[in-house]
Every structure is written in structure tokens, then in C-alpha cells.
Amino acid sequence: MLRYILFRLLQVIPVLLGTTFLIYFMVFAMPGDPILAMFGDKTPDPTVVERLRAEYHLDQPFIVQYLLYLKGVLVGDFGVSFTGQPVSEILARTFPVTIKLAAMAIVFELILAIGIGLISGLRKGKFFDNINLIIALLFMSIPIFVIAFIAQWGLGIKLGWFNPTVGSGAPIQDLLLPAIVLGVSLYATSMRLTRASVIDTLNQDFVRTAYAKGLRRGRVVPVHVLRNSLIPTITNTATDFGILMVGATVTEGIFNVPGVGNALFQAIIKGDNSLVVSFVTFMVLIYLGVNLIVDLLYAVLDPRIRYA
């Protein structure tokens, strides 16, 4: 198991180097001067411009800029935004909100995907299965902002079951509605994967052997069928978590969630390249960490993987 963990950790290194280089290149090597963009239509003092360029290492060759940035990332220093505020402070304020929202959405997604997917797989071709596939296709077809607006109006404003917008401090109860919206918008793919995997597992020899040995259905389904059907679902859920961490911008905007997505969107609008690069790099680190955990869960769910 230790050898398997070390092997997966070594695989993360080139991915991290490659992604950080591409992120930095796409933001800072593009035409335009981010320092001049800070002043908008105003004409800045050349001395101030040169000082800011030196402060953000923009007077150095590109490769030197990247190496200095990478050095800071490796020691946990994500730099300073163009507004003068340390990126770590902005992350400390926004990241806990987004990770709470993402975690709650993943919980809703897994409850729906595993529960409904398992029942659909066990009842393949029956009424419940057919209706469920239609509903899943419907949710996959509707854009998330449409689901968000309908939920905000119907469940938040009309029925009053949830707060329609997130208040100061982003309390858990205010995050329930956006988390449900995100979970519902993502569950369909995971549910279909669970259903297909359950159907495939039911036809495996070890399941037939378990029934032949006299084991009850209540024992075979959770232990032999469900456990061996979760790997595709977990893989997709890890991808969804990464999407939620950086792609919940629309939902955060609609529900006024003070999270990473909102902060990243504002940084892009303002041309704060330093903040954009640092935020995206941090999200890459989170994404790689989640995928590493998922790889380790593979080994727990299926010992054949770690021995292979």
C-alpha cells in the first residue's frame, strides 16, 4: 500500500509543474500590460509603474517570473493581488465558504446518485427505472442558471422554505438552497454511472456465487454489489468536486455566495492577473489532492488495483 501511495504522489509532481506553467503563461504572457490596466483610463506616473512592475517581478524575463512564482507556491506564499491585499487573506475569507458549499452539494449528489442509481440498477427496465432516466436526462439538459433561478423563486421566494440569498458570514442554512441546486444539476451523470455499474456487477460470477452460497439479498447487495459498483461514481464525484471548486461562479453569483467563484470572477473583470493565477493554482492543488484521495479510495474499494 505504501508503494502505491508513493507512486501516486510522484505522478502528481509533473502534473503540478505542467499546469502551473500553463496557467502562468496563459495569464501573464498574453499581450497587454496588467499594471497599466490597474489605472484604467488614467495616465499613471512612470515611476509608480516601474515600482509596481518591480514589486510583481514583471520587469524580469518570463521564465524568471514563473520560477519566482513557483518558489512562492512551494512555500505556501501565493503573492499579493494588484489591490495590495495578500492572496492568502482573500483565500482565507472565500475558500471556507466555497468548500462548505461544494461539500454540501457533493453530499446531495451522492445521496441522490447512489440511492436512485442502485434502485434503478436493481429494477432495470421497470417503471421506476424508466421514469428516473427521463428525469435525469431532463436535469442534464437544463442549464444550471435556469435551475438556480427556478429554485430561488419557487423554494426561496414563493414557498419560503429557504433563504433566497446567502447572508453575511454564509451560514449553513443559507447555503442549503445553492447546494441543492448544484447537487441536483450534477447527480444525473453519477446516477447513470452507478446504475450501469450495478447492472454490470449483478452479472458477475462472484455475485452469483454469493447467492448460490445462500447469502441473503440484504447482504449481497450492499457488500458485494454496491461496494464494487462505486468506483465509477467516486471518479465522477471527484471530477465534480473540482468543477464545484472553480465552476460554481454562476451559482455563487445568483445566490450572492461570497466564495472563490465570485472572487475569481471579480478578479478577471478587474484584470487582477496576480489574483487570478494564484486562485487557479490553488484550485489545481485542491483538485490534485482530491484525485489523489480518490486513487487511494480505489485501493480500499478494490484491492486488485493496489496489487496491480
Per-residue pLDDT band for 117 (boundaries 50, 70, 90) equals: confident
**Does position 75 have pLDDT exceeding 60, yes or no?**
yes
Task: Give the bridge partners for 80, in sequence order.
Answer: 86
- The 3-state DSSP class for residue 86 equals strand
pLDDT tens-digit readout, 208-227: 777 777 777 777 777 667 77
Look at residue 298 in the predicted model and tell me its pLDDT: 65
pLDDT tens-digit readout, 237-261: 777 776 776 657 778 878 888 888 7
Cell of 253: 453569483
pLDDT tens-digit readout, 134-158: 888 888 888 888 888 888 888 888 8
Look at residue 258 in the predicted model and tell me its pLDDT: 84
Cell of 292: 489523489
Q: Is 214 exposed, middle or buried (0-12, 13-18, 19+ CB in 10 A)?
A: exposed
Separation between Cα atoms, residue 259 and residue 94, nearest integer Å: 4
DSSP 83: T
pLDDT tens-digit readout, 153-181: 888 888 888 888 887 777 788 888 888 88
Q: Nearest 5 degrees, angle CA 238-CA 240-CA 242?
A: 75
Average predicted confidence (pLDDT) for the chain: 78
The pTM of the full predicted model, rounded to 2 decimals, is 0.71
